[in-house]
Amino acid sequence: MDIRIALKTGIARLREADVPSFTLAAELLLLHVLGRNRTWLYAHPEEIIPDTELQRFFELINRRAAGEPTQHLTGKQEFWGLEFEVNPDVLIPRPETEHVIEVALDRLALHELRAGRPQKSAGEGLQIADIGTGSGCIAIALAKELPAADFYATDISPAALAVAQRNAQRHEVAKRIHFIKANLLSTPVGAQHATPQPGAIANNAPASVFYQSPATSHQSLHFDLIVSNPPYIGRRESPSLPREVRDHEPNAALFGGEEGYELYADLITQSAKHLKPCGLLVLELGHNSLPAVQPLFDTPEWTAVGVTNDLAGIPRVIAAEKR
């Protein structure tokens, strides 16, 4: 079978199965199997596909038709112009999360301007935390933009941290990112006091990094910037989620509680304790989280609260400055 017929057959199969963006999905799966790019694909429509690759392509088409996300079949997703490894242990990075990066960089630039430093800095001396790092996409994108900054990336899921660590290695920023298994920014019971090595996963070691007590205050860290895309979908919304999301992405990455916005209160309270004065907090919002989240910033600790809409006009990012 040649490329044109194989692609046409794959597209028809995905269309019948009600797969969203079926043409793109079939193309991506064929490109993945052939190890080619799109230009080559369309320049060689008559090329005969070897049997093993053809069989592999239709296996993937069947799995996609049964609901597996394309990114789980190809093992990758682009974010901020970088390619990330993804698997069922991590949320597939979404384009709207790029607004978190944009807002964080804009706010940092403003900060530098106000401090009389050049606006385009490499982030010298900045300590940045990404809470709920998943694939690592936010921490890694920021690490590429701010090549002199240091990062702490937490997740409650060790399997997600392993993926994030591989992505950091792939993008050559692992030496500047400390990976930590933690519940938001808090100290789990039985925490060790060893300082985690950059690029290695510190299991149950956040006490040394985040926790301020008389015994550990010399080790505790305060951040210039905390970013997070927390789980924010309500469990009660689960039946209305696309099957690709509900059945294939990790529950811990999707659901923030029955309503969805439950994690924000702890995240904001803990962030206030772990930001330097004038430090920034930048959070992604769920499509209906703003009314529940914005009032949490109505305390004397916060100022300069701003909301940014995504391309669909949905309030997507909330940012604030610690007084």
Q: How far is the CB of 84 from ligand SAM (least distance, A)?
A: 9
- 14 versus 153: smaller Cβ distance to ligand SAM: 153
Stretch that binds ligand SAM, among 2-10, 14-22, 154-162, 240-248 (CB under 6 A): 154-162
Calculate ∠ Cα 313-72-12, nearest 5°: 80
Q: Does 143 bind ligand SAM (CB under 6 A)?
A: no
Q: Does 134 bind ligand SAM (CB under 6 A)?
A: yes
Q: Does 294 bind ligand SAM (CB under 6 A)?
A: no
- 157 versus 208: smaller Cβ distance to ligand SAM: 157
Q: Does 253 bind ligand SAM (CB under 6 A)?
A: yes
- 60 versus 71: smaller Cβ distance to ligand SAM: 71
Q: Compute CA distances 15 → 18, 32, 63, 187, whole Å.
A: 5, 19, 14, 48
Q: Candidates 86, 105, 138, 173: give the one binding ligand SAM (CB under 6 A).
A: 138
Q: Within the chain, where are the H helices?
A: 3-16, 22-34, 38-43, 51-65, 70-74, 98-114, 137-145, 158-170, 207-210, 243-248, 251-254, 263-274, 290-293
Q: Does 184 bind ligand SAM (CB under 6 A)?
A: yes
Q: Does 231 bind ligand SAM (CB under 6 A)?
A: yes
- 134 versus 196: smaller Cβ distance to ligand SAM: 134
Q: Does 286 bind ligand SAM (CB under 6 A)?
A: no
For helices 137-145 and 158-170, the axis angle rounded to 10 degrees is: 30
Q: DSSP letters along 244-292, please?
A: HHHHHS-HHHHEEESSS-THHHHHHHHHHHHEEEEEEEEEE--TT-HHH
| Whole-angstrom distance, CA of residue 280 vs CA of residue 223 | 8
Report CA 278 to chain centroid distance, whole Å.
25
Q: Candidates 17, 31, 162, 252: give the one binding ligand SAM (CB under 6 A).
A: 252
Q: How far is the CB of 123 from ligand SAM (least distance, A)?
A: 19
Pairing of strands 315-322, 255-257: unpaired
Q: How far is the CB of 107 from ligand SAM (least distance, A)?
A: 18
Residue of 6, 12, 18, 3 whose CA lies nearest to 58: 6
| Whole-angstrom distance, CA of residue 112 vs CA of residue 143 | 17
Q: Does 77 bind ligand SAM (CB under 6 A)?
A: no
Q: How far is the CB of 23 from ligand SAM (least distance, A)?
A: 25
Q: Does 157 bind ligand SAM (CB under 6 A)?
A: yes
H or E segment to which residue 154 belongs: strand 150-155
| Whole-angstrom distance, CA of residue 193 vs CA of residue 260 | 33
Q: Candidates 27, 155, 244, 321: give the one binding ligand SAM (CB under 6 A).
A: 155
| Whole-angstrom distance, CA of residue 244 vs CA of residue 64 | 9
Stretch that binds ligand SAM, among 1-9, 17-25, 227-235, 272-280 (CB under 6 A): 227-235
- 10 versus 134: smaller Cβ distance to ligand SAM: 134
Q: Does 132 bind ligand SAM (CB under 6 A)?
A: yes
Q: Candidates 137, 146, 180, 268: give the one binding ligand SAM (CB under 6 A).
A: 137
Q: Does 165 bind ligand SAM (CB under 6 A)?
A: no
| Whole-angstrom distance, CA of residue 269 vs CA of residue 301 | 10
Q: DSSP letters along 181-213, please?
A: E-BTTBPPTT---PPPPTTSEETT-THHHH---
Q: Candidates 10, 93, 279, 286: give the one binding ligand SAM (CB under 6 A).
A: 93
Residues of this chain that interact with ligand SAM (CB under 6 A) are: 90-91, 93, 97, 131-135, 137-138, 154-157, 160, 183-184, 229-231, 252-253
